């Protein structure tokens, strides 16, 4: 097995080992993330940087949770025009610091993003969260906001981008239905 293939597992284990039982207890009050667990299929829709046109491509995601429900482990596959893309994403919600940390692995590299949790609402059968950061989009400074709405059978994730003195627009959105 190649190092690139096991790197996400190594990082996941390291992240899990730094959690203390006290931290785990705090997260029991957070949203029940078991709604996410399973296989999802649908579309990734995005605004293409080059043409500024909207594009829709097939997408599949398999989501698992760490034993303490603090990490979301997503295996993603989508067909970009001309080739298949595979990615592995580890997400951690730090409710104490009101942060979301995402680690995105694809093509032998890792990208880390941290966001501020702006708003969250959850019940037994639905979970909505919004988080944001100031960052870059297409090489320009931008405010980036992500909103995820998850129920037992639907998963919608929208990434909004707003450049200075311009209206916000949806850069990409994931529209999925649970298949198992």
The 10s digit of each residue's pLDDT in 146-157 is 999 999 899 999
* CA-closest candidate to residue 104, choices 88, 125, 128: 88
Residue 22 pLDDT exceeds 70: no
pTM of this prediction? Answer: 0.78
Average pLDDT over every residue of 61-89: 91
Max CA pair span of the chain? 50
Which CATH number fits the domain that encloses residue 25? 2.40.128.20
The 10s digit of each residue's pLDDT in 77-102 is 998 878 899 999 999 988 888 999 99
Which of 3-12, 94-103, 117-126, 164-173 shows the lowest mean pLDDT across its residues? Answer: 3-12
Tell me the helix, strand and coil percentages in the chain, rounded to 5.
Answer: 15, 60, 25
Other residues' Cβ atoms within 10 Å of the Cβ of residue 158? 17
Average pLDDT over every residue of 13-42: 59
Instruction: Spell 118-153 as b/e; 16+ CB within 10 A means b.
Output: eebeeeeeebbbbbbeeeebeeeebebbbbbebeee
Domain count, the chain: 1
**Structural domain boundaries, residue 53:** 3-178
Q: Give how far Cα 145 sits from Cα of 22, 126, 157, Å.
A: 30, 20, 10
Q: Which helix (H) or strand (E) holds 134?
A: strand 126-137
Average pLDDT over every residue of 102-115: 94
Predicted local distance difference test score (pLDDT) of residue 69: 81
């Amino acid at each position: 097995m190649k190092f690139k293939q096991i790197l996400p597992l190594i990082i996941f284990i390291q992240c899990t080992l730094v959690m203390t039982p006290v931290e785990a207890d705090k997260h029991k009050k957070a949203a029940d993330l078991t709604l996410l667990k399973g296989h999802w299929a649908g579309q990734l829709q995005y605004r293409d940087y080059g043409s500024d046109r909207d594009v829709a491509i097939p997408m599949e995601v398999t989501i698992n949770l760490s034993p303490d429900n603090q990490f979301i482990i997503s295996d993603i596959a989508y067909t970009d025009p001309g080739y298949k893309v595979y990615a592995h994403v580890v997400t951690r919600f730090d409710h104490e610091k009101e942060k979301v940390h995402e680690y995105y692995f694809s093509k032998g590299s890792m990208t880390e993003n941290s966001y501020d949790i702006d708003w969250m609402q959850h019940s037994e059968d639905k979970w909505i969260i919004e988080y944001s950061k100031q960052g870059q989009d297409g090489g320009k400074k931008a405010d980036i906001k992500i909103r995820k709405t998850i129920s037992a059978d639907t998963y919608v994730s929208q990434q909004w981008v707003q450049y200075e003195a311009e209206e916000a627009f949806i850069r990409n959105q994931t529209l999925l239905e649970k298949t198992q």
